Amino acid sequence: MKVLFGVSDWGLGHATRSIPLISALLKKGDEVHIVSAGRAMKLLKNYFRKKCIYFDIVLEGAIPRKNISSFILNSALSFFSVLKNLTFFRNRIKTIIKKEKYDLVVSDCRADVYDRPDNSILINHQLRFRVPFLEVIVELILGKLMGKYGKVIVPDFPGRELSGDLSYNRFYEGEVHYIGILSHVKKKKMPKDIDFFVTLSGPEPWRGELEKKIREQVLSLKGKIVVALAKPEQNKLEKTKNVTFYSFLKREKQAEMMNRAKFIITRSGYTTVMEVAEIGNKNVLFIPTPGQTEQEYLGDYYENRKYFHHTSQNDLNLQKDIRAALNFKGLKCPWKTEKSIKNAMKVICESERQLDFK
């Protein structure tokens, strides 16, 4: 079949979790065309090369505005900016669909990529946004937008162990399939020779503020420590006593460090959570990006369920928080990414079979 696969370019998480599914589609002989932009498109092109056809289309409004200090306000404005610009970008997608005549359309969080409900599938873990004072209105709007897709694939388990209430929308009337985690990072047998792996992420100024706090406190920890600063514009390696600072780590090196680490300190972004769950490390400290309501919700959710400890960026005390985190049980997954891919492909193949009968 001929498949159009849309991938959100807000960060790299959507691209990395889409790679296993696109690979599975190619393996079964489907022709795959990809819609994305920015660093996400670059990653996908580097990975699939000439195996796919690419349409570089930015869904404007989805990128955070750096001149707005409140992340909550920023997120709300970004959401409504996407809605405002959706008609224009949707017309570009409609033109492509009309020309190429796709059998199936799959979208990982691209609200402009869909055809008809019977041949369109959405991949998303966030079926509602936690926006103060506007949560019900935003959930209603999302439910209406999701109605363009006949099926939704959620990268979580049926018990919603990872996403909690974020992956439930009371206004969506289509099929929802919880298929399990999707992680580009795989568990590998490696020596656990790194005592602490600290990996930063997120927009400025919050990333820079966390870096400052980490630098102030990390030298008080004992053992071998690696810090990834998430500054791709630089290419520096800095060593201070028992700490190695990398300005940036590529995905393969990042995955290696996560497998070698006895303890991980990171943001509570959903892609990172799935990577931690795939590896099976229970010694984790989450530091949500300030004002990023999804990460803050997940931090509270895991804390209440005794999965992982989290602390706010302002209150970070590495010595105290690491001791607290060691008392948590971690998250035991019913299955890992390999089975999740099979579950997702069952949903996709069932949609293809239904289309064949029409």
The yes-or-no answer to whether 2-181+336-356 and 196-325 have a common fold is: yes
Q: Is the pLDDT of residue 226 over 60?
A: yes
Higher pLDDT, 133 or 70: 133
- Closest by CA to 235, choosing from 224, 243, 245, 225, is 245
Structure tokens at 99: 């020309």
Taking residues 108-135, report their average pLDDT.
Answer: 89
Higher pLDDT, 286 or 75: 286
pTM above 0.95, yes or no: no
Arithmetic mean of pLDDT over the chain: 90
The distance in angstroms from the start CA to the end CA of the chain is 15
CA pair distance 196, 322, nearest whole angstrom: 10
Taking residues 257-277, report their average pLDDT.
Answer: 96
**pLDDT value at position 62?**
44
pLDDT cut 90: percent of the chain above it = 72
Taking residues 323-347, report their average pLDDT.
Answer: 95
- Closest by CA to 179, choosing from 195, 187, 167, is 167
Q: Is the pLDDT of residue 38 over 90?
A: no
Higher pLDDT, 260 or 9: 260
Taking residues 249-268, report their average pLDDT.
Answer: 95
The confidence band for 63, taking pLDDT boundaries of 50, 70 and 90, is very low
pLDDT tens digits, one per residue of 189-221: 999 999 999 999 888 889 999 999 999 999 999
CA 314-319-322 angle, to 5 degrees, is 90
- CATH architecture of residue range(s) 2-181+336-356: 3-Layer(aba) Sandwich (3.40)
Q: Where are the domains of the chain?
A: 2-181+336-356, 196-325
**pLDDT value at position 201?**
87
**pLDDT value at position 65?**
45
Higher pLDDT, 177 or 130: 177
Coil, strand or helix at 312:
coil
pLDDT tens digits, one per residue of 123-157: 999 898 876 677 888 889 889 989 999 999 999 99
The alpha carbon torsion through 9, 13, 17, 18 (nearest 10 deg) reads 0
**pLDDT value at position 189?**
94
CA pair distance 79, 86, nearest whole angstrom: 11
- CATH architecture of residue range(s) 196-325: 3-Layer(aba) Sandwich (3.40)
**pLDDT value at position 22?**
95
